[in-house]
């Protein structure tokens, strides 16, 4: 295997990628010409139906230079916290660790863990506690953050957090089934993250 490693590496460097990177794709939506052609051959008297690509909005073009601001959409199942807000930076609590997102950040998808989401706009910093979700960072300096639940940090009562942590710790120690243990562990994790956010 190792003897043929140099052959593999030299072959890999001369290979042409079959699929372009997302930044190389056209910004305009393209019709699925193969589908339309096949449809017209099979049923020439009926107009072909629209394919999913016909309903998708065109992808914004990737700017040639890095913009000065990051455009953020921060949504919850029941409301939109930020919509098209231009900010300097966002720090998200990813499962891999805290991740700072600036304008021009590489395209990324990150899973969120319970923790603090910080939105930096000049000298103003808005902090939210998120329980989980996903962040989608696009190459055109847009970021979409989808959280299951989020609360501004200054709306959290520290006494209720301490009480909840004690309650869930007690439930975890007395849990007898796997479901009870899992539910109690989630409660402990969320309340521990809340406590760390308030004290740290």
pLDDT digits 0-9 by tens, 28-69: 445 577 888 888 898 888 888 776 666 666 666 666 778 889
Percent share of the chain, pLDDT over 90: 33
Instruction: Compute the C-alpha angle 95/138/94, nearest 5°.
Output: 10
DSSP lists the bridge partners of residue 90 as 101, 119
C-alpha 153: how far from chain center: 21
Q: Tell me, what's the pLDDT at 119?
A: 94
| Count of residues making up the chain | 200
Q: Tell me, what's the pLDDT at 198?
A: 82
Phi/psi class of residue 119: alpha, beta or left (left: φ > 0; alpha: ψ in -120 to 50)?
A: beta
User: Where do the structural domains in the chain lie, given as residue ranges?
Assistant: 2-55, 70-153, 156-199
Query: For residue 66, what is the DSSP state?
Result: -
Which has the higher per-residue pLDDT, 14 or 137?
137
Say whether domain 70-153 belongs to CATH 2.60.15.10. yes
Q: Do residues 153 and 116 touch, judged by C-beta distance below 8 A? A: yes
Helix, strand, coil shares, percent, the chain, to 5 = 35, 30, 35
Q: Do residues 148 and 133 touch, judged by C-beta distance below 8 A? A: yes
CA nearest 77: which of 155, 153, 142, 132? Answer: 132
Q: Tell me, what's the pLDDT at 178?
A: 92
163 C-beta neighbours (distance < 10 Å), count: 12
Q: Where are the beta strands (DSSP E) in the chain?
A: 70-75, 80-87, 89-94, 97-101, 108-112, 115-121, 124-130, 133-137, 142-147, 150-152
Q: Tell me, what's the pLDDT at 53?
A: 66
Q: At 199, phi and psi to the nearest 5? A: -95, -20
CA nearest 118: which of 141, 96, 157, 150? Answer: 150
């Amino acid at each position: 295997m190792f003897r043929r490693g140099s052959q593999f590496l030299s072959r890999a460097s001369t290979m042409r990628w079959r699929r372009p990177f997302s930044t190389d794709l056209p910004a305009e939506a393209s019709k699925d010409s193969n589908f339309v052609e096949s449809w017209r051959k099979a049923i020439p008297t009926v107009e072909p139906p629209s394919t999913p690509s016909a309903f998708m909005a065109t992808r914004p073009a990737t700017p040639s230079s890095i913009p000065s601001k990051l455009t953020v959409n921060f949504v919850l199942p029941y409301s939109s916290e930020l919509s098209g807000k231009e900010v300097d930076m966002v720090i998200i609590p990813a499962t891999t660790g805290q991740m700072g997102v600036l304008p021009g950040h590489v395209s990324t998808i990150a899973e969120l863990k319970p923790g603090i989401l910080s939105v930096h706009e000049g000298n103003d910093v808005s902090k939210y506690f998120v329980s989980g979700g996903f962040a989608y960072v696009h190459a055109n300096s847009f970021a979409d953050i989808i959280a299951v639940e989020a609360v501004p940090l200054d709306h959290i009562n520290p006494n209720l957090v301490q009480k909840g942590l004690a309650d869930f710790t007690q439930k975890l120690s007395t849990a007898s089934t796997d479901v009870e243990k899992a539910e109690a562990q989630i409660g402990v994790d969320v309340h521990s993250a809340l406590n760390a956010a308030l004290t740290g």
